């Protein structure tokens, strides 16, 4: 995390949900790990925003010293943040950009017998014209232990892909910033 802060000079960080794994509840070990993670983050960043994911029951009790927003999200300037498993608050339609997690975005790259899974960032256009929304950014999972949803093997079944995202206008980026093209062109 220190490297990310030094590279970006960010003073704030947003955690877009699924802070913990076990549902319901959490083991004592997981609770301690989550507390320690956020204690360390608070030494690096001035402000930490946490949005609950579908694995984050009890998060307010685990992190009483942090502001934890519900799964429907929150707004910072022109950005709406929410986890992605629940419909966002109506006020987020007045944001220019949504930033979400939940899908654990990745693609499978194949060449001959070579096969590799890469985490990706998805930049999409909304297919619905509502409010000020112009762009939707879907983040990959932070941890390699979380697994990945291979977007180019099968389009995910979620409200975002079915109701909100224009699949034909969806760009895929590797974590180093290289654009791989449109999702529809990368399907295998």
pLDDT digits (tens, 9 = 90+) for 98-135: 999 888 889 998 888 999 999 999 999 998 889 999 99
Asked if 82 contacts 45 with a C-beta cutoff of 8 angstroms, the reply is no
Answering whether pTM is above 0.85, one says yes
pLDDT at site 158: 67
**How far is CA 142 from each of CA 4, 25, 39, rounded to the nearest angstrom?**
12, 21, 17
pLDDT at site 56: 82
pLDDT at site 155: 63
Residues with pLDDT less than 50, the chain: none
Asked if 124 contacts 166 with a C-beta cutoff of 8 angstroms, the reply is yes
Hey, where are the domains in the chain? 1-70, 71-188
pLDDT at site 169: 86
């Amino acid at each position: 995390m220190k490297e990310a802060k030094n590279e970006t000079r960010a003073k704030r960080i947003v955690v877009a949900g699924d802070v913990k794994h076990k549902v319901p509840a959490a083991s004592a070990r997981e609770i301690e790990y989550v507390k320690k993670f956020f204690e360390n983050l608070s030494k690096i960043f001035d402000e930490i925003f946490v949005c609950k994911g579908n694995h984050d029951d009890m998060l307010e009790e685990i992190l009483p010293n942090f502001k934890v927003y519900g799964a429907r999200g929150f707004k910072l300037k022109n950005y709406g943040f929410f986890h992605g498993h629940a419909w966002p608050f109506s006020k987020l339609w007045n944001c220019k950009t949504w930033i979400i997690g939940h899908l654990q975005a990745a693609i499978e790259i194949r060449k001959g017998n070579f096969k590799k899974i890469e985490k990706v960032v998805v930049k999409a256009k909304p297919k619905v014209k509502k409010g000020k929304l112009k762009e939707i950014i879907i983040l990959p999972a932070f941890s390699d232990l979380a697994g990945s949803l291979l977007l180019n093997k099968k389009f995910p079944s979620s409200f975002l892909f079915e109701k909100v995202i224009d699949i034909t206008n969806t760009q895929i980026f590797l974590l180093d910033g290289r654009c791989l093209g449109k999702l529809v062109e990368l399907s295998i």
